[in-house]
Amino acid sequence: MKMRCSPARGQPACPSLFARWYKAVVTIQLYRRNAFARSTRISRVAFALVLAVCASAIVAPSKAHAEGDRFTIELGGGYAMASGAGLPSRGIGGDLWMTYGLSYSFTLRAFGGVALQGSDHWIQDYGVDVVYVINAFAFVPYAGLGMNVLTHTHNHESINAFGLHGVLGIDFLLSDAVFAGLEVRPTLALTQYFEMPIYIKLGFAFDLD
């Protein structure tokens, strides 16, 4: 049975099928436009918040790396690679660093550590380096060069060697006085062997003034 439109007296005539279809299409289009406008506003707000966070990190870097005359103590350990002189390629090790901020961008570091390659090859490593630090963000990258004195001990025999190393790392500032990081230090013990510690570390900073 077909439903017929019977408008009351004085009311406008019933809309045609085309009119009802056109009204539905217009309503859907308006809803889509409103939804798109709302999503665009939300995206703009989120983007503005991200920019504000980045700007605050740039304008106000943490003191853990941002100043000279600042002393830090760092502990770290992890995986140690090696090659040459009969050394097993895989090992584990750890280091202790002490650093002093020469300026806003340069830091002097001294470190000492030991690595066990395989089950009975020990490498003691002591050195100094100077690193260039980028103090712009909560993530603080750095790179530098330095020198080492290394001792390889195996079967109760020890061999000393002079070494040179590069360093590449990044620290994450947890607060003004505490930071964590990752460091890679490829080292060449001249005429002897090559080693490369890859250490995760935790550091603590102290003001000296």
Identify the weakest region by mean pLDDT among 66-70, 122-126, 144-148. Answer: 66-70
pLDDT recorded at residue 193: 86
Beta carbons within 10 angstroms of residue 172's beta carbon? 15
pLDDT 10s digits, 174-208: 888 899 999 999 999 987 888 899 898 988 887 76
| 54 has a pLDDT exceeding 60 | no
pLDDT 10s digits, 60-79: 444 455 456 689 999 999 99
pLDDT recorded at residue 18: 56
Look up residue 209 and give its two tokens: 């003034």
Residues 6+ positions from 78 with CB-CB distance below 8 Å: 92, 93, 94, 197, 198, 199, 200
pLDDT recorded at residue 137: 75
pLDDT recorded at residue 186: 94
Question: What is the rounded distance in angstroms from the CA atom of residue 163 to the CA atom of residue 150?
Answer: 7
- Average pLDDT value for the chain: 79
pLDDT recorded at residue 85: 83
| 10 has a pLDDT exceeding 80 | no
| 42 has a pLDDT exceeding 90 | no
Side-chain half-sphere exposure of 151, counting CA atoms within 13 A = 9
DSSP state at residue 209:
-
- Strand, coil or helix: what is 110? strand
